[in-house]
Amino acid sequence: MPKAQRQFRTQAIILSRRDFGESDRLLTLYTPLRGKLRAIAKGARKPSAKISGHVELFARSDCLIHRGRNLDILTQAELVDAYLGLREDLGRGAYANYVAELLDRFTADEDDDSGDVFLLLHQTLSRIAESADPRLAARYFELRLLDLTGFRPELQECVLTRADLLPEPQFFSYEEGGVVSRAAAPQVASRLAEIDFDTLKLLRHLQRSAESYAGVSSLRVTADQHQRAERIMLGYVSHLLERKLESVDFIHRLRRQMRSP
C-alpha cells in the first residue's frame, strides 16, 4: 500500500484563529481539495515570526502543511490575497466573519469535494471587500452555500402542495424548508414566518443567479428590503444549525452603534 502523504501544499483561506500555547496559533483553514482543516502555525504570535503576516484572519495563502498525529502543522505560508477592504472597514469585516462562521458550521472536516465551496468563499470575500453592497454579497453566499450543502430552500412553489404561488404575501416554514402558500398554511403545526412577495422575489432572483453573480451585482436593495430578507434567511439558518451564530449578534450591535448619534 502507498504511504500516506506526510505533507502537502495547498491554497487555504483562514476562517478563524486563536491563541495556542505560548507562541502558536490554532487555525481553521478551508482548502479547495481537502475541505476544512485545523492546523497549528508554530511561533505565529512571535513579533519576529515570518509566517505571522501570511496567516491573518480571512487571508488566502499558499500553505505547506505537515500531517500530524492529532493536529496538522502549517510549516510555510505565503500570502496570495489579503482582501484588504475587510481590514479597512469594520462593517465589511463583520460580514466576512459571518460568512466564515456560516461556512464553518455547514461543512465537515476533510471533505475532498470542496472545490466549489472554496471558489464561492474566495469570490464572496472579494465581493464583500470591494462591492458597494456587502450585505447583498452575504445574502447571495447564504443561498449558494445552502445549495451546495444540500439545504436549498424551496422558493418557487408551495413546499407542501407544489402549487404555484400567487403574487401575494406568503409564509415561510423553517421546519418544512420553504415557502408555504396561504391556502396550505393551516396544515402546518410549526411556527410560520410571514414573507411579503417582494422579499420572495428578491430571494428567488438570488437563488436563480447561483451560477453568475453578474445578474445580482446591479441590484439596488433598500435597507428595509435587506432587513426582511435577512430575517427569513437567518431564521432558516438558525433552525438548521439549532443555534444562533455569534457573528450575527456582532453585526446587529454594530448597526445599532452606527445609528446612534
Reported as a pLDDT band with limits 50, 70 and 90, residue 4 is low
pLDDT digit string, tens, across residues 94-129 = 999 999 999 999 998 887 778 999 999 999 999 999
pLDDT digit string, tens, across residues 31-87 = 999 999 999 999 898 887 888 889 999 999 999 999 988 889 999 999 999 999 999
Of 154-168, 194-208, 214-228, give the lowest mean pLDDT range: 214-228
Say what the pLDDT of residue 2 is. 40
* Number of residues that this document lists for the chain: 261
| pLDDT of 92 above 90 | yes
Say what the pLDDT of residue 1 is. 35
Mean pLDDT over 180-197 rounds to: 94
Q: Report the 3 state secondary structure along 83-152.
A: CCHHHHCHHHHHHHHHHHHHHHHHCCECCCCCHHHHHHHHHHHHHHHHCCCHHHHHHHHHHHHHHHCCCC
